[in-house]
Structure formats: structure tokens, C-alpha cells
Amino acid sequence: MTSGGDAPGMNACVRSLVRSAGSHKLLIDGIIRGYEGMINGDFEPMSARSVANIIHRGGTILKTARSKEFRTKEGRQQAYEQLKVNHIDAVVAIGGNGTFTGADIFTKEFGIPFIGIPGTIDNDLYGTDYTIGFDTAVNTAIEAIDRIRDTADSHDRLFFIEVMGRDSGYIALYTGIGVGAGNILLPETDTDYDELVNVLKAGVKRKKLFNLIIVAEGNKTGGAIKIAEEVKKRFDHYETKVTIIGHLQRGGAPTAADRLLSSRLGYAAIEGLMNGERNVMVGIINQEIVYTPLKDAITKAKKLNPDLVKMSGILAT
């Protein structure tokens, strides 16, 4: 099943799961709409053919939803019964922190073997270098900002551009480096307006004609709109504009890297299951498959590489 927010590559992963399972002669059902579908017994038998021609599609053919009911004991009980009735012996779910938190409780209560696959554009999961959808989301944001760059350049403007990432600055950092941002405001650090304004002023001195500031959605000081207002109060050299990239970051055909990652993780999930892995999240660290206990995946923090943060500052000069 896919669960939580959709992410590009989920379909490529579903394809990989079904075909890898097929190579072990396993029967596989798709659960429709995540835990909600599990509770409602919304299962669909899948074959190599039912996942043909989906590797390149954004979204998820299994649909996804957030389930309140699964947070209750009764909901999970019902889900368990549906699995039993339908002869499901193990569950593989593509999702994020919320999905795995539910799974951790569920597997402890009912003992159903579970493998999690990290699928979220935010790349905020411990136990894997990258999550499914992250590379696509960053590329989508960069492509959008390349367009904004044309306008910023033509008008000599200062743009504040908000990208996704409520708790994690991964999207903002990678996007910011990718577009050559003048500044990147992360959720992990506080925004110091004086410092920000000083950097902008130094840029003007160096004849930097336009400037793009990337703001992570979850920046503590505020979103792009608020920050733009505050900066304008302090420094109004530039004509200033704000854009919030928004939901379009979630969709679209997955990139090469996301298709490869999705394919590898789906394949490794089935291999892991066959080799006795239980209640883990499968990830790739330094190009190797790694199985991380669910508990660690949901509680341990993945940190940004401080070298990249430092470098982004130097290259912005």
C-alpha cells in the first residue's frame, strides 16, 4: 500500500514490489487508500500486467489517504481482521513518518510482519540517504525557479520563494544550491534579519542585479510572505516579490534517480521479507541496501550536511 502524502516514484515502487514478489511466486494484493483501505478491506489482486506502463506516472495507482480510524485500537483491530480474512501474511507500505509510526504500533499489537519503504518528498527519514520523491520534488522546484529567474533577471527583482519542507530543510537546501540562491532559510536555523540584510547589501555592492531567496515552508521565523515584508522594511533597494511553489512539487513523472531508487527499494523490500527482515524500513545508504528498525526510522533525526550549508553561502557571493 501507499500511505501519507503521495510522492513521485510510488508507482515505480509498486511495480517493483509486484514483479519482485512475482519472481518468488508470492501472491500480492494492493491495498487501496492506505490504512483506510486496510480497515475497509479494499484489496485488489495484482499481477505483472497490472503494473505495466506505470513506472513513469506520478501519484499512486493505489491511492493514498490519511486515516483517523487507524489511530484507534478498534480501527487497527478491524484492519487486522481484514488482513486475516484476505489471507495477507505481511504488509509492505510506502510512506513517511506517520505511516511507520502507525505500523510500529500495529505490528506490536498484532504481529503482522511489516516492511516500510521511505516515500516522501521531504527526505526527512533516518535510515536512508534519500526518500522516494525527493529528487523529483527538488527538480520540479528548480525548474519552476528557473522560470522565475527569467523574470527576476529581466526586472532586477528580489524574489522570496517558498518550497516545501515542514520540519526539514532538505528540499530548500538542495533547491537553493541548484538555483544559485542568494540565501537559503532553513527550518533548522533561525533567520537573522540583520544578517540577511547585510548579505543582500553586500550583493548590491558587487552589482548583483537580482536575487533569489529560498525559504523552507517550515522556517521558524515565518513563511516567505512574512520574511519578505520584514526584509522590505529594512532594505528596499529591490522590487520584491513572493512566490509559494506549493503542491505542484508533489506530482509529475518521477526523475531517473527516483525511478531507480523506487525500483531498488521495492526489490529490496521483497528480498528482505524473504530473508526474514521484520518491522524495518528499507533504505539505501552509500549505495547499499540497509534495513533499519522502524523505531529508529521514526525517532532518530536525519541531519543536513553542514558542508553543503557552508558551501551554499560561499557560492552565493
Looking at the annotation, which residues are catalytic? 122
Q: Answer yes or no: are the C-beta atoms of 10 and 262 closer than 8 Å.
A: yes
Does residue 16 interact with a copy of itself by CB under 8 A?
Answer: yes
- Which of 4, 31, 6, 5 is closest to 17 using CA atoms? 31
Name residues contacting a copy of itself, limited to 206-225 (CB under 8 A).
206-209
**Looking at 80, 159, 238, 291, which residue binds a copy of itself (CB under 8 A)?**
159
Q: Answer yes or no: are the C-beta atoms of 12 and 253 closer than 8 Å.
A: no
Does residue 116 interact with a copy of itself by CB under 8 A?
Answer: no
Q: Give the number of residues in contact with a copy of itself, rule: CB under 8 A.
A: 82
CA distance linking residue 84 with residue 31, whole number of Å: 14
Does residue 305 interact with a copy of itself by CB under 8 A?
Answer: yes
In terms of CB distance, is 71 or 241 closer to a copy of itself? 241
| Three-state DSSP state, 160 | strand
Q: Answer yes or no: are the C-beta atoms of 29 and 35 closer than 8 Å.
A: no
In terms of CB distance, is 73 or 314 closer to a copy of itself? 314
Name residues contacting a copy of itself, limited to 265-284 (CB under 8 A).
267
**Looking at 52, 85, 225, 301, which residue binds a copy of itself (CB under 8 A)?**
52
Name residues contacting a copy of itself, limited to 72-101 (CB under 8 A).
none
Give me the least distance between CB of 148 and a copy of itself, in Å please. Answer: 5
In terms of CB distance, is 22 or 113 closer to a copy of itself? 22
CA distance linking residue 307 with residue 85, whole number of Å: 52
Residue 293's CB is within 10 A of a number of other CB atoms, namely 16
Give me the least distance between CB of 109 and a copy of itself, in Å please. Answer: 27
Give me the least distance between CB of 110 and a copy of itself, in Å please. Answer: 27
CA distance linking residue 172 with residue 164, whole number of Å: 7
**Looking at 74, 77, 180, 303, which residue binds a copy of itself (CB under 8 A)?**
180
Name residues contacting a copy of itself, limited to 224-263 (CB under 8 A).
241, 243-253, 255-257, 259-260, 263
In terms of CB distance, is 8 or 165 closer to a copy of itself? 8
**Looking at 1, 37, 38, 60, which residue binds a copy of itself (CB under 8 A)?**
60
* Radius of gyration of the chain from its Cα atoms, rounded to whole angstroms: 22
- Which of 188, 196, 185, 189 is closest to 163 using CA atoms? 185
For the chain, the helix, strand and coil percentages under 3-state DSSP, each to the nearest 5: 50, 15, 35
CA distance linking residue 57 with residue 254, whole number of Å: 7
**Looking at 67, 175, 183, 279, which residue binds a copy of itself (CB under 8 A)?**
175
Cell 489471507 -> residue: 87
